[in-house]
Amino acid sequence: MARTNIKELKKIIEEKDKEIIALKAELERKSTELDKIVKVSSSVVSQLASTEDLLNLVVTVVAELLNTKICSVMLVDEEKQELIIRATQSLDEEYKNKPNLKVNQGISGLTVKEGRPVIVSDVREDPGFVYGDIARRLSLVSMLSVPMRFRNKVIGVINIYTSERHEFTTDEIEVVQALANYAGIAIGSSQLIEEVTKTREALETRKLVDRAKGFLMKSKGMSEDEAYRFLQKRSMDTGKPMKEIASAICLVYELEK
């Protein structure tokens, strides 16, 4: 009887040891995931990385964490209404240079439209996947597409492909979504700054052109339309921006005062 109890106790201890080992492995995996997320978030917060550097970091981190064959980031081009690949760790030229998708096209388009992660068990067989030929040639199988948001608007997607059939876990989806959220904030902020800068430059150009037109109208007796056409022609003849031409005219007239 005592021997039986000892055997049972030994068995329980062995099972507990296995559970402890499994828990340690899970803890190490979670710690690695956290380190990667912190690395990306630090780049966003510090704003030390350019948009290109950040996107390259994101695809590299995601590919390492999920051990995937290909990871890519596609951003929405609002003017063309297309999804364009902006970063990938894939070295395959055909994949990197594949045609852009319309925002309502394919699995990535579905992710943008519905604003939620989309999973495909096998892209080689799914009629919604546009690049079936590329998928078969590169042996791409399962796919996870996660939306990137800025101010509650989807501005792009992170796409992940595996080389064999894979069921993406809740943890994997949440990790990728967390990275997508950080990247979305950085990219959206960068685009917003770019738009503000363009608007400011446009206003400055308009002010200079208006001043230059005023000088020409006053000194040359031109009409407003004639003054504008004069500036436009000088810009075309010299190959210089109209802002530069207007600035030079303003400077000349200021010095003549």
**3-state secondary structure at position 101:** strand
Tokens 């106790």 label which residue? 9
Q: What is the mean pLDDT of the chain?
A: 81
Torsional sign, CA 121, 125, 126, 131: positive
Give Cα 167 to chain centroid, integer Å.
24
Q: In the numeric block, which tokens belong to residue 47? A: 């704003």
Out of 42-51, 77-86, 126-135, least confident range: 42-51
pTM more than 0.85:
no
What's the pLDDT band for 28 if we cut at 50, 70, 90?
Answer: low
CB 225 within 8 A of CB 232: no
Q: What residue ranges define each of the domains in the chain, with the CATH number in brackets?
A: 2-190 (3.30.450.40), 196-255 (1.10.10.10)
CB 42 within 8 A of CB 186: no
Q: Measuring CA to CA, which residue among 143, 159, 140 is closest to residue 92?
A: 140
The whole-number pLDDT of residue 98 equals 85
State yes or no: pLDDT of 202 exceeds 60: yes
C-alpha dist (Å) from residue 123 to 117, 129, 130, 170, 175: 15, 6, 9, 20, 22
CB 74 within 8 A of CB 111: no
- The beta strand positions in 45-142, using DSSP E, are 70-77, 82-88, 101-102, 118-120
CB 112 within 8 A of CB 83: yes
For range 215-223, the mean pLDDT: 86
C-alpha dist (Å) from residue 14 to 1, 6, 7, 60: 20, 12, 10, 38
CB 55 within 8 A of CB 73: yes
The whole-number pLDDT of residue 178 equals 87
C-alpha Rg value of the chain to the nearest Å? 29
Q: Measuring CA to CA, which residue among 30, 22, 42, 50 is closest to residue 182?
A: 42
Kindly compute the dihedral angle of the four CA atoms of residues 127, 130, 132, 134, in this order, to the nearest 10 degrees: -170
Q: Measuring CA to CA, which residue among 144, 145, 161, 153 is closest to residue 184?
A: 153
Q: In the numeric block, which tokens belong to residue 36? A: 């990667």
State yes or no: pLDDT of 149 exceeds 60: yes
The whole-number pLDDT of residue 257 equals 62
The total number of residues written for the chain in this structure: 257
- Name residue 229's amino acid: R
What's the pLDDT band for 203 if we cut at 50, 70, 90?
Answer: confident
